[in-house]
Amino acid sequence: MRVLGIETSCDDTGVALYDEDIGLIGHRLASQGPLHAEYGGVVPELASRDHVRALLPLVSDLLLAAGPGRVDGIAYTQGPGLAGALLVGAAFAHGLAYAWGIPAIGIHHLEGHLLAPMLDPDPPSFPFVALLVSGGHTLLMDVEAVGCYRKLGESLDDAAGEAFDKTAQLLGLGYPGGPAIERLAATGRPGRYRFTRPLLERGLDFSFSGLKTQVLMAVRAGLAEPQAHADLAQAFQEAVVDVLTHKAMRALLTAGRSRLVVAGGVSANTALRAALNTAVTKEGGSVHYPRLEFCTDNGAMIAYAGAWRLRGAPHTLGFTARPRWPLEDLYSLP
Ligand code: KG4
Ligand code: ZN
């Protein structure tokens, strides 16, 4: 089975070719970061239009580089995400699938993220607990197998990535905020600011909106010199990392698992990785991440999930985008 994967749920156009026997043949990404930077967040209509512009050249380039060979199916992100952006990918995938006489299948974006570490030469085995930390979601899931997902906890308000983006905006760092905060925090000195850790000692849910308010208050109180910006970024990142690490450890204990998979854009964060590595190995467990380029949105994770889900999938011409779609609604595979 050789699958063309198409990801257009937000502001990255990702395409990839995955072969079950050979592995990942190639992938391409067009990031819209600069397009949205001046707005401090993704503008949905601009995102949809840019996916339209980017898709065809990316796919042609990918297939030309891969050389001649059949494609057995097309997997595209069906949701959750921005409705217009999702529809661009879905229409493109179904048009191509119809022309080539092959099936197209809609993939859950978060299933793509949580299977991304499987593209590694040394993938984690099931079962595991997954910490999904992206711009739109912060979720803890117990994962028995592909399609068997049980939610353990989630953010009651902002997602972790969203908190990074909003803090970056308050500090005038542009979008996306995560990598910029991480760079700035590296030069920050601990101890100058101290932010609270909401819900730290309670359950498996998260809350990040209060943190954003605390950052806002600190900014309003005045950040005199550049070092104050760095110290604030450090304190903010430390608070997020602390909460994510605590909850991930509690989730492993609650679910009785020893393996932790961390995926989504925020899983690229070095401070988060360091804290999780220390905490999980101390308890005798193991922690797995996608390779860095597959932490944020990409086509490879969608092609990979598609290879699982295309087996025996019905060939249909109809499609819908699902901007809201609980991960637990997915059917498990035989
Ligand atoms: O998974 P992703 O690419 O898109 C969604 O599905 O949302 O995640 C994007 C999010 C953004 O909020 C971005 O600021 C954050 O991931 N992010 C990071 C880092 N790289 C990306 N957050 C913290 N540290 C990073 N290095
Ligand atoms: Zn994502």
Whichever domain contains 149, its CATH number is 3.30.420.40
Distance, in Å, from the CA atom of 227 to the CA atom of 51, rounded to the nearest integer, reads: 39
The answer to whether residues 261 and 133 belong to one domain is yes
Ligand 1 center–CA 162 separation, angstroms = 8
The answer to whether residues 61 and 99 belong to one domain is yes
> Is 325 in contact with 297 (CB distance < 8 Å)?
no
- C-alpha 282: how far from chain center: 26
Task: Please indicate, yes or no, if residue 121 is contained in any of the structural domains.
Answer: no
Under DSSP, is residue 13 helix (H, G, I), strand (E, B) or coil?
strand
249 backbone dihedrals φ, ψ, rounded to 5°: -65, -40
Residue 17 bridge partners (DSSP): 4, 26
What dihedral angle (degrees, nearest 10) is formed by the CA atoms of 54, 60, 65, 66? 110
The answer to whether residues 317 and 180 belong to one domain is no
* Predicted local distance difference test score (pLDDT) of residue 33: 83
Q: Which residue intervals of the chain are DSSP H helices?
A: 33-37, 44-66, 83-100, 109-115, 160-170, 177-185, 209-221, 226-255, 270-282, 299-309
> Is 113 in contact with 45 (CB distance < 8 Å)?
no
Going from the C-alpha of 212 to that of each of 183, 194, 209, 267, the distances in angstroms are 19, 13, 5, 20
Nearest to 170 by CA among 223, 239, 225, 227: 223
Under DSSP, is residue 9 helix (H, G, I), strand (E, B) or coil?
coil
Which-ligand-closest: CA of 289?
A: 1
Ligand 1 center–CA 105 separation, angstroms = 25
Is the CB of 290 within 6 Å of ligand 1? Answer: no
What are the residues whose beta carbon lies below 5 Å from ligand 2 (ion)?
A: 134, 297
Distance, in Å, from the CA atom of 261 to the CA atom of 140, rounded to the nearest integer, reads: 10
The answer to whether residues 212 and 196 belong to one domain is yes
Task: Please indicate, yes or no, if residue 120 is contained in any of the structural domains.
Answer: no
- Ligand 1 atom index nearest CA of 296: 3
Ligand 1 center–CA 270 separation, angstroms = 12
The answer to whether residues 171 and 110 belong to one domain is no
Nearest to 134 by CA among 318, 44, 241, 265: 265
- C-alpha 325: how far from chain center: 15
Whether the bond between 176 and the residue before it is cis, its omega within 30 degrees of 0, is yes
- Looking up tokens 């779609």, which residue turns up? 325
Whether the bond between 290 and the residue before it is cis, its omega within 30 degrees of 0, is no
Residue 16 bridge partners (DSSP): 5, 27
Could you give the number of structural domains in the chain? 2
* Predicted local distance difference test score (pLDDT) of residue 221: 83
Low-confidence stretches of the chain (pLDDT < 50) are: none
* Predicted local distance difference test score (pLDDT) of residue 48: 98
Is the CB of 269 within 6 Å of ligand 1? Answer: yes
Is the CB of 179 within 6 Å of ligand 1? Answer: yes
Nearest to 211 by CA among 161, 272, 273: 161
* Predicted local distance difference test score (pLDDT) of residue 316: 67
Mutate to test the pocket of ligand 1, among 86, 111, 164, 291 (most ligand atoms within 8 A of CB): 164
Ligand 1 center–CA 64 separation, angstroms = 30
Is the CB of 134 within 6 Å of ligand 1? Answer: yes
- At CA 210, angle to CA 199 and CA 150, rounded to 5? 45
* Predicted local distance difference test score (pLDDT) of residue 16: 98
pTM for the structure as a whole: 0.94
* Predicted local distance difference test score (pLDDT) of residue 38: 81
Report the Cα–Cα distance between both ends of the chain, in Å, rounded.
17
Task: Please indicate, yes or no, if residue 70 is contained in any of the structural domains.
Answer: yes
Task: Please indicate, yes or no, if residue 132 is contained in any of the structural domains.
Answer: yes
Range of the structural domain that residue 257 is part of: 126-289
13 backbone dihedrals φ, ψ, rounded to 5°: -95, 115
The answer to whether residues 209 and 67 belong to one domain is no
The answer to whether residues 108 and 41 belong to one domain is yes
Task: Please indicate, yes or no, if residue 334 is contained in any of the structural domains.
Answer: no
The answer to whether residues 103 and 173 belong to one domain is no
Which-ligand-closest: CA of 181?
A: 1
The answer to whether residues 201 and 217 belong to one domain is yes
Ligand 2 center–CA 63 separation, angstroms = 24
Is the CB of 80 within 6 Å of ligand 1? Answer: no
The answer to whether residues 285 and 310 belong to one domain is no
Tens digits of residue pLDDT in 153-177: 999 999 999 999 999 999 988 888 9
* Predicted local distance difference test score (pLDDT) of residue 201: 85
